Each structure stands twice: as C-alpha cells, then as structure tokens.
Structure 1
Amino acid sequence: MSFIEVENVTKTFDGVKVLKNINMTINEGKVLGILGRSGSGKSVLINMLRGMKEYKPDEGRIIYTVAMCPGCMRVEAPSKAGTQCSCGCEFQLEKVDFWNCDRKVFAAIKRRISIMLQRTFALYEDDTVIDNVIKSITGHNYEESTYMAIDLLDMAQMTHRITHIARDLSGGEKQRVVLARQIAKEPMLFLADEPTGTLDPKTAELIHQALIEGVKDKGTTMVITSHWPEVMKKLSNYAIWLEKGEIIEEGEPEEVVQKFLEQVPLPEKKEVYETGGPIIQMEGVKKHYYSIERGVVKAVDGIDLTVNDSEIFGIVGLSGAGKTTLSRILYGLTEPSSGKIEVKLGENWVDMTEKGPFGRGRVKPYLGILHQEYSLYPHRNVLGNLTEAISLELPAEFAHMKALYVLKAVGFDEDYAKNILKKYPDELSGGERHRVALAQVLIKEPKIIILDEPTGTMDPITRVQVTDSIRRARDELSQTFLIISHDMDFVLDVCDRAALMRGGKILKEGDPHSIVEELTPTEKEKMLTEE
C-alpha cells in the first residue's frame, strides 16, 4: 500500500537548489535506501519527511496516506484503517498534504516518526542506559516498560552496559542506545540518516542487524540514507541514487549500487615511501579513571608506540578501544595517568607531559588535530573558518586562493568551492561540514596531523580524493599523519603502517593489510564476540 508520495518537490537554500523536482513513492512496510555523495540532498529529503520546519518544500507536496483516529487523533500506518483505536474509535483512512495540513494533524504525524541522525547522540547524559530507553516508551506501566527496554537493549547488544551512565559510553555504544530509544517509540515511520558512517565494522554490523530485527522484520516502513553501497544492498528493498539534488537512478538496490560504484575512481597508486627516523615516541602510556558505575576504567593501558617522520600511521579498533583517548593524550588535551610521551622538534625531543611554553607549548604550533566531534564557528562563513577563526592572518587575495586550494584537496570541485566560501556551517550538509573541518586542519600545514575519523561522513568518491590529498601533503610538505579510523578501505589505501587497539592496549603493529584482517568481522569470526 502506498504510504508516502513525494510529488515534484524542490527545495532551495541560499539560491542553490538542493532538491530538484523529486518524485517517488514509499510503500508501507518497505525500506527505501537513498544513496549518494555528501551534499547530494539525502539529509534534506530525510528532514523534509520528518517535518523539520526549515525544510518545508519550496515547490511540490509530500502526501502521507495514514489511518487516523477521529477521537484522539492518533495516527498509524494506512493498513490500520478500519481497526479499533485504544480510545474506542475506528481508524479512518486519510490522505494528508503534510506541509499544508492542519497544525494538529501535522504534529500528530510527526509524533509517529522516529529518526536517527548522523553524529548526533540525543541521550540524557546523566541517566543510565536503561532509563534512557524507558523514557521513550509510552502507554505502558513501569514494569512493562522496563521489560520492553531490556528486550530492546538486548537486540542492540547493550545489556552489558544497562546500568551505566550514558556520558560514560563510547560513540558506538551511544549510537546503539539511540537506536533502542527510537525503536522504543514504536513509530509508523523510521528514518535513519547515515546511522553507521563513523562506526567500526563490528558496531556497524550490530546497528544494521538491529535495524533489520527491530524495524525491517517488524514491517515498519523505513527510509535510510547512506553513501556506503553495502548498507543499501543489505537493508533496502528499493533504492534511489541522488546526485546534486536529482534522482539519476532508481530500482533494485543491487543494480543502483553497481551503477553508483562504476563512477567511483581508484586512488592513485600507493608507492613505498622512505620515512625518516622516529618523531613520536610513547612508552608505558596509561590513562585510568574512576567511574562510580564502572569502577576503574583503563581507557589507555600501557601503550608503547613509535611513529616515524613523514609516516602515515593508522590506529584501528572497535568503538571504545581507547583510540580517541590516545590521540587526545598525544595532543595534550587529556593528561595521562603515567608514561612517557615525546615529540621531536628539530633536533630536540620535547616532553609532551610537561606543561607550559618550555614543554608541549613548544610543539603545539606544529600540531594539528581533527576531532571526531569536530565543530566549526557557526557565526563565521567557510572562508572565515579557514582563516581568521584559526588565527591564520593572510592578505585577503592570498587567503581566498589558499582556502580554495585546500577545499579542492578535500573533495570540492572548484566551482562549488567558490560557492561555499560565503556559506555558513548550518547551510552545509553534514559531510560538507566535515570536509571543511578537515580543510581547517590542513590549511595551517602543521608538521604532525592527528585525524580522528577523517572520512566518517564522506562518500566513496570524496574518500579517494582525501586519500590522494593526504599522500600528496606528505610527499610535498613532509607531514606526519596519525590517523584513527573505522574505514578499513581508507586505512589500506593511505597508511604506511597500522596498529590494532583493543581494551586500551595495542595488540599488534604492522602492514595495514595484516591489521585490517584482524578487525574485519567476515574474516575474523571471533571479533563478533570479543571487545
């Protein structure tokens, strides 16, 4: 049965059409996959279906066919028409012009839609995991809600964290709790916008399986966006490929994915690079802290690590392995509990555990970092974010040229790069903001660059462009990169060496292929059961 009809929808932001005459039908109980590059309009369409105010179509209509109760105005999927509502009235079939209907009807439909957004963890940070899920359950007493919450957390494989405080969870764990919360709302429509873009393979697999069990297999209609072809093939019944706001291909997921992959270039051939001597040395580095719920947490537990000058070194591991904590320790944002950390500056080794201008303050100007939870200055445009906001004082014309150069390096074509220089962060897609944040790090040309999930929201084409840009930067500027990533293809393409982290320890170092084999669930069955 037809559930949602998108008719001739166009949306413009700041004079640029981000959706152009979109037409499609979403049937009840089916999963629509939306594939496309960053900035193609995927998130705009998802937010439009959700009813977010700033995403109202400029042209066209979105028609919801729903079963509506005339008594309490509860809304259900259309197949419920003719059945009895809990208030005693009978559901009636209604066609609703979503963006032009009565305000109360609009709100009633919105309440029946759940959404998972990319890089957004909408949790009660001071509450336990189970309380977070219980708060999403309505229409049941506390005991029933508790059992429902336990079942949902079991489906998301989060029962081992059930009494933990939400703020103590890793990013992947938070994402699983968000999923359980959204399913707990028992929606008629489930929207997932890049739900696994920044997750490691194991955690991504858990999220995908939970979406299948908790949404798809239960007959809940779902729309999922992704730039990862495997997600489309695994989860969707029907797929569309968006490119610059237009549907350029639609049909069976396998066919759409194959046509999308045909236009993904291969990265430049990776050649052996002669690195210099050690530039980063860590010995016995630990970071332990105490949590009331978890006791002693060994986030980093005795790390010995050497990174060479002009080397591209990758650190891979599951969510919660300690990778981000290690990067923050190296940069000086988190104090280690113990251990030795030194960075070579010229001919001198600098103690990074020593504060002040004669310690790590000497090295800081030569370090750059892209955080996983990056942020841009919201009241500055892209040019401002790439120059004045980071104290990069350049003549106006040179600043403009350098900003364009670095934007092209992170995957924007020249015309589009010129166009977004005057845009503000909230006018960009999530993937575009991510690339600007990466450009913000690269534009200062630091000697050592730490990248935490640099390709998490990037489509395959942009990922190849960033891979080539990092290697060129290393070749031309002799930069050293420490890259933390869940993107195994990216690690294989860009890194000279890699290390596998688990439980705060480095288990293995070596060639990226041997390290990735240890992490990929399909090749190492044990990784499905081990943290």
Structure 2
Amino acid sequence: MNFIELKNVCKSFQDHLALQNINLELEEGSVLGILGKSGSGKSILINMLRGMKDYRPDEGQIIYNLALCPDCLRVEPPSRKDEKCSCGTRLELQRVDFWNCHRSLFAAIRRRISIMLQRTFALYEDDTVIDNVLKAFPDDSAESTYQALELLEMTHMTHRVTQIARDLSGGEKQRVVLARQMAKNPMLFLADEPTGTLDPKTAELIHETLLNGVKNKGQTMLITSHWPEVMKLLSDQVIWLDNGKIIQKGDPETVVKSFMDTVPLPEKKDHTLVANPIINIENVKKHYYSIERGVIKAVDGVNLVVNEGEISSIVGLSGAGKTTLSRMLCGLTDPSSGKINVRLGENWIDMTQKGPQGRGRVTPYIGLLHQEYSLYPHKTVIENLTDSISLELPAEFGKVKAIFVLQAVGFTENYAQLMLHKYPDELSSGERHRVALAQILIKEPKIVILDEPTGTMDPITRVQLTDSIIKAREELNQTFLIISHDMDFVLDICDVATLMRGGKVLSSGAPTKIVADLTQGEKEKMLKNT
C-alpha cells in the first residue's frame, strides 16, 4: 500500500514559488530518486518530508499511512498494522496529515525519519567515532556496541573507531553520519546528495551501503543525487524536478537519459602552459599527536609545484591529506616541517613566516573555498558578496559586479538579479554553494584554491562552472588549485593532476593517467586497509 502521499503540495519563499502542485505516491519499501538542477526544489521537498522548521507547505497535504499505537504513540510503517506494541496495545492503521496533526504525533513521526543533508556533518566533534554512532541507539547495551561496529564496518570506518570526530576528513565524517542515521533503524531514510563530496570509490562503497543497509532491508528511501549511476542503482522510480515542478516521472533509465540529454559539453580550449612556478612546496609534513592513535601523519613529505596560469588538481581518497595541504598553502595551518613558498610578482614569500611581512603579504591574493563553507546568515546575497571585498564604491557598481560573478558560477542574469536581496536560508544548498564560490571569485585573487567546488552541483551547473574557470584563467591570468572527487570535472578542466594517498604524493601528470590510477587501484587498497 502507499506509505506516503503528496497531494497538490506548494511552497513559496517570499516571491519565489519553490514547489508547484507536487503530487506523488510512494509505496512502503520503495526508493524514489529525485533529479534536477540546483534550485529546482529537491532539498525543499526532502526537508518538508522530514518536518524541518520553515518548510511547512503553503498548500496541499503530506499524508503518512502508519501503523500507530494509540497509547504510547509508537510509529511504524503500515505493514506493521495489527502487530503488538511493546506496551501491549495493537498497532492500528491510521492516515495522518503530517503537517496538521497533533504536535506529539508530529514529533513521534519525525523521530522515525533519518536524514542526511548536503555538507552537514552534525557530529559530536569531541567524541570518538564509535561514541557518535552509539548515541544514535536508544540504549547503551553490549548489543548496541556490536551493532555500531557492524555499521562502521559497512561504511568502511572501522580503522577510525577511536578517532575524535573533529580530526576526520569531510568524506570520513559523511560516512560516520551515514552509520549514525542507519543506527536509528528509521521507517523512512532521506538522503540529500549523500556522496556529493566523496571520491568515486568511496562513493561507490557508500552507495553499496545504502543498497545493502537500507534498500535491501525494505526501508523506504528518497534520495537526491547528481550521479546518474546512483539513480539507476538505488531507485525504483525517478522524478525530474525543474523550477519546482515534476516534469517527468518514470523508470530510472528513461528519466536519467532525458535529464542527461539536456547537459551541454564544456568548452575545452587549448592553452599554452609556460613553466613559470607560482607555488613551490618542498618536503612538507603535518603530523598530529593523538593519545589513542599516537602520531597521525596527515601530510608526510609532499613536494608540489604549480605553474602560473595552470589549472591543477589534487585527487585521492577521503583522508588522503588534500584539505590539510591546501590549508597549509593558505597559511591557515602551520606545517610541522618543510617549505611552502608562493611567488608575488618577482618575490617569493615564505608561507610559514607569520605576520604582515611574511604570509600576510600574499594571503590577500589567495582565494580559498572551504569544503565546509559558510555565508553570513543575516546578510543578503549582495551584502555577502560586496562585504567580502569591503566595497567602498557606488552601490550600482557593486550590483553590476555581483551579477557578473553570479553569472560566472552558473546563474542566469535574470535569476541573479532576483536573488540579490535574498538571504542564504532562502536558497537551496546548491545555490548557497555557488554564492560562496562567487564570494571567492569576486575578489579576483591571483591564486584560487577550491576544495570540492562541484560537490552539490548538478551536471549543467558543473559545465557552467568549468567554462567560467577557463574564462577566468584566460582573462585574469588566474591560477587554480582544485581539490576534487569529481573525476569528470578534473578531466574536463585540469591541465595536470596529482594523486595523494596516506599523506604522500604518489604521482603527478596528465589528468587522464592520474584519474585512471585512482579509479583502477584505490578501491582494492582501501578495502585492504579497512
């Protein structure tokens, strides 16, 4: 029978109609895939089904057909009707209007829904990996410990069981979040781009975990993803959202093909590279010390040269040391040893030397988009952009510059004008990500470091970003260092790639060769290590 029914659901944010007359039926145990460009309404729909604050429908209903205990409000999927509850009462089949039911029932339903959000790790940063998962269980029994270890094995995190959560890489944190959400044994699993920032092989392992740990156990799931393979692997049916409307619904193969047919090819332009180094990293190390694990070699003797005007990339599995290396290059993290030099004009600046006469001379010319970026929540888009460059020029100039840079990250001119006075919480996750990228590009830095720039981007926006970076390189002579798990993006845009694993550089060279090295050999090495 139908587990979830959406009837004429509409949602607006100020003057923007985000969802328009959404009608859906989802059977218990089935998996619905949701495709669409950034800003199409995917995340809004996910948050609405979870009952997140500020996502109440303006019109329409979200109906949950449930097996409900009338005495203790235990909530189960409809197939559990007539079973005996732990309190002794039999579960009764009830049709619940989710957003209009009693507060206690609303809360009971929410507790039975797990959600993974884009780039939101939501971990107890000072607790270990195993403790983070254990806190998702209702009791602290020996059985819970065994189950937690099984879940960490499914997500390939057993080698990090006793590590403190704050010391994990972004990809590792995402895997712990997945283990936590599965530990709740939900009746509904919502996954919003669960592998958008993971390397291909780790993502493949997570997709297998979702298949074995959620779908094959008969749990109902909704998943958004920009990976066509995910839709085909996990989904029973797929909907394509565009501007808040369902424009196609059907089997994964058909809908994915229709969507991908709209994705343009990036414009690959020939560029003559000159061996004129602008970044020189020599034998750099970053070692941490942990009571549980001893010495952690996050970066272990890395040598790297980046030439001026080059689009270079660093690839590798989660936890390889890529982000730590980028933070040392920007002066945000001090190396344990080694040399990091950046050329400013004709002068080489030592990035390990603090103060205005040291790295302070060059940091204004380096732009870094963090994997865990943030915007000022109480400032509009144009305020976020113009404040980031301390603009003291006429407001009209600021508006023109803001619209120009928003177009560079994939927004149309008309939509860029409409969104200038919106606040970050009125944008989708993918739109916020692109505004954060625009916040970096509007400064026109000489060196741009991007940590997972395409993690939440749909294929169409990714192509637009590719074209924008190539254009920026040509017109502004900018140098790009891109940390990415998106191998298609690396192949489309980069001149050279560097493969890292275990804090070391394994090889550098043509992106085609490096990507082949990563995709062919890394899965077996990861499985062996874990």
Please tell me the TM-score bracket, short chain as reference. over 0.9
Structure 2 residue aligned with 1:177: 176
1:411 matches 2:427: no
State how far apart, in whole Å, the 1-side matches of 2:140 and 2:439 are: 50
Residue equivalent to 1:146: 145
- Structure 1 CA distance, aligned partners of 2:77 and 2:457? 34
* Greater shift in the superposed pair: 365-374 or 389-398: 389-398
TM-score (norm 2): 0.98
2:419 is aligned with 1:452: no
2:389–2:442 Cα contact (<8 Å) kept: no
Equivalent residue letter for 1:376: L
* Match in the other structure for 2:518: 519
Query: How far does residue 337 in structure 1 lie from its aligned partner after superposition?
Result: 0.8
Which structure 2 residues correspond to residues 4-43 of structure 1 after superposition, within 5 A? 4-43=4-43
Q: Distance in 2 between matches of 1:394 and 1:513?
A: 45
Residues 72, 83 of structure 1: alpha-carbon distance in 2 compared, 3 angstrom cutoff: same
Partner AA of 1:70 in structure 2:
P
- Determine the C-alpha separation between the residues in 2 that align with 1:128 and 1:353: 31
Question: Does the 8 A contact of 1:30 with 1:222 survive in 2?
Answer: yes
Q: Distance in 1 between matches of 2:52 and 2:457?
A: 24
Alpha-carbon spacing, 1:70–1:61, altered in 2? closer, same or farther (3 Å) = same
**CA deviation after TM superposition for structure 1 residue 227, in Å:** 2.2
Structure 1 segment 319-398 matched on structure 2, within 5 A: 319-398=318-397
Q: Distance in 1 between matches of 2:525 and 2:270?
A: 31
The one-letter amino acid of 1:9's match is: V
Is the Cα–Cα contact under 8 Å of residues 392 and 444 in structure 1 kept in the other structure?
Answer: no
| Equivalent position SS for 2:214 | helix
Partner of 2:299: 300
Task: Flag the 1:133–1:525 CA change in 2: closer, same or farther, 3 A.
Answer: closer
> 8 Å contact 2:351–2:359 — kept in the other structure?
yes
1:331-381 CA-partner distances (Å, limit 9, x unpaired): 100001111111111112111111122211111121111111111111211
Name the aligned partner's letter for residue 9 of structure 2. V
Q: Residue 527 of structure 2 aligns to which amino acid in structure 1? A: T
Q: Secondary structure of the residue that 1:72 maps to in structure 2?
A: coil
Contact 2:99 2:106 in 1 (8 A): yes
CA distance in 1, matches of 2:47, 2:200: 27
Q: Secondary structure at the match of 2:125?
A: coil
Alpha-carbon offset, residue 524 of structure 1: 6.0
Tell me the SS of whatever aligns to 1:54.
Answer: coil
Q: Give me the whole-angstrom Cα distance separating, in 2, the residues matched to 1:272 and 1:500.
A: 23
Percent of paired sites with the same residue: 70
Contact 2:388–2:443 (Cα < 8 Å) also in 1: no
Q: For the structure 1 residues 141 and 421, does the alpha-carbon distance in structure 2 shift closer, same or farther, using more than 3 Å as the test?
A: closer
Aligned-residue offset at 1:266: 0.1
- Contact 1:6–1:23 (CA under 8 A) maintained in structure 2: yes
> TM-score normalised to the size of structure 1?
0.97
Cα deviation, residue 156, structure 1: 1.5
Q: Using the alignment, how far apart are the partners of 1:528 and 1:340 within structure 2?
A: 30
In structure 2, list runs of 5 or more residues that go unmatched: none
Contact 2:30 2:220 in 1 (8 A): yes
Q: Is the 8 A contact 1:202 1:527 kept in 2?
A: no
Contact 1:270 1:494 in 2 (8 A): no
Quote the residue 2:127 is aligned against.
127
Q: Shift of residue 528 of structure 1?
A: 4.6
Moved over 3 A (4+): none
Q: What SS does the aligned partner of 2:382 have?
A: helix
Q: Which amino acid aligns with 2:10?
A: T
Match of 1:66 in 2: 66
CA distance in 2, matches of 1:279, 1:131: 44
Q: CA RMSD in A?
A: 1.3
Rate the CA distance shift 1:71–1:110 in 2: closer, same or farther, 3 A: same
CA shift at 1:276, angstroms?
4.7
Shift of 1:102: 1.5
Cα distance in 1 for partners of 2:288, 2:37 equals 40
User: How far, CA to CA, are the matches of 2:159 and 2:275 in structure 1?
Assistant: 44
Q: How does 1:114-513 map onto structure 2 within 5 Å? A: 114-138=114-138, 142-513=141-512
Structure 2 SS opposite 1:520: helix
Q: 2: distance between equivalents of 1:192 and 1:353?
A: 41
Kept in 2: contact 1:519–1:527 (CA 8 A): no
Instruction: Tell me how far apart the structure 2 counterparts of residues 196 and 525 of structure 1 sit (CA, whole Å).
Output: 16
Structure 1, unmatched stretches of 5+, are none
Matched ranges for 1:101-120 at <5 A: 101-120=101-120
Q: In 2, distance between residues paired with 1:352 and 1:168?
A: 23
Q: Which moved more, 1:96-105 or 1:506-515?
A: 96-105
Query: Deviation at 1:52?
Result: 1.2
- Contact 1:129/1:161 (CA < 8 Å) preserved in 2? yes
Distance 1:396 1:462 in 2: 28
**8 Å contact from structure 1 (residues 270, 493) kept in 2:** no
Give the letter aligned to residue 137 of structure 1. Answer: F
Measure how far apart 1:248 and its partner are.
Answer: 0.5
Q: Residues 268 and 493 of structure 2 are in contact (CA less than 8 Å); yes or no, is this contact kept in structure 1?
A: no
Check conservation: 1:172, 1:319, Cα contact below 8 A: yes
